[in-house]
A and B are shown apart, each in its own frame.
Chain A
């Protein structure tokens, strides 16, 4: 099997999805800026929808995978809006968007 067939088949989709998920998790734990954490979450959700789409194409020939991906995209949008509202609120209260500084609940 040539590289092109490998990359454009199910393997390629799964490979890209896995890398995106890995990078997303790394961003979530590694970024200090809370907007950076949000970017990581978006990568994770995208990786999930890639997998849904890939399996719906290569495995079942049914539409359900696409519906799930659609729901994931909608939920990601809602989550981004709320998260950014929280970040703006945090900035207004603490003058910073460093995720490590949001520790009012600790004491």
Chain B
């Protein structure tokens, strides 16, 4: 990877972290869900850099095109239309929680360092070809090969979720 590519990845990691902070601490629930959208986008770029191009596409389609829209719908159906205020009031805890989080950062840094150094001791032989090769074919073959049973299970789960959600949200 070139230096420029690395800088872009770091920028998107920073975007992810900043958006995640807003998701947790923004008093306005609508702003929290918009920042969740940007956190999803940042994670998708991280997937792209980790050689998971198909996964990045899935992440954007499912999360930004599906989950975020659903959340926005839920917020608008429960808050704005009936003039309930959007505030999520528990303001006094924000500062201590933020301080605690930043106090933890050095330990997280140490932990990531330690774990990575233990794991990275042996780098797999075909690492370079794996990191920069398209994955769509491999994912498809794995889904219809080794992972066929979980795949079928997921389809049943999705059907159940679909029916359950429709039944739960039925009119009275």
Contact = CB atoms under 8 A, between A and B. Distances in A.
B112 A80 contact: no
Q: Is the interface of A mostly helix, strand, loop or mixed?
A: helix
Interface string A27-70: 10011110110111011001001100111111111111011011
Contact of A13 (B39, B50, B125): B50
Chain A interface size, under 10 / 10 to 19 / 20 to 34 / 35 or more = 35 or more
B24 A23 contact: yes
B51 A57 contact: yes
B71 A35 contact: yes
Interface string B131-151: 100010011001100010010
B43 A50 contact: yes
Contacts of A89: 168-169
A84 B157 contact: no
Contact of B130 (A40, A50, A61, A87): A61
Interface of A: 4-5, 7-16, 18-20, 22-24, 26-27, 30-33, 35-36, 38-40, 42-43, 46, 49-50, 53-64, 66-67, 69-71, 73-82, 84-89, 91-92, 96-97
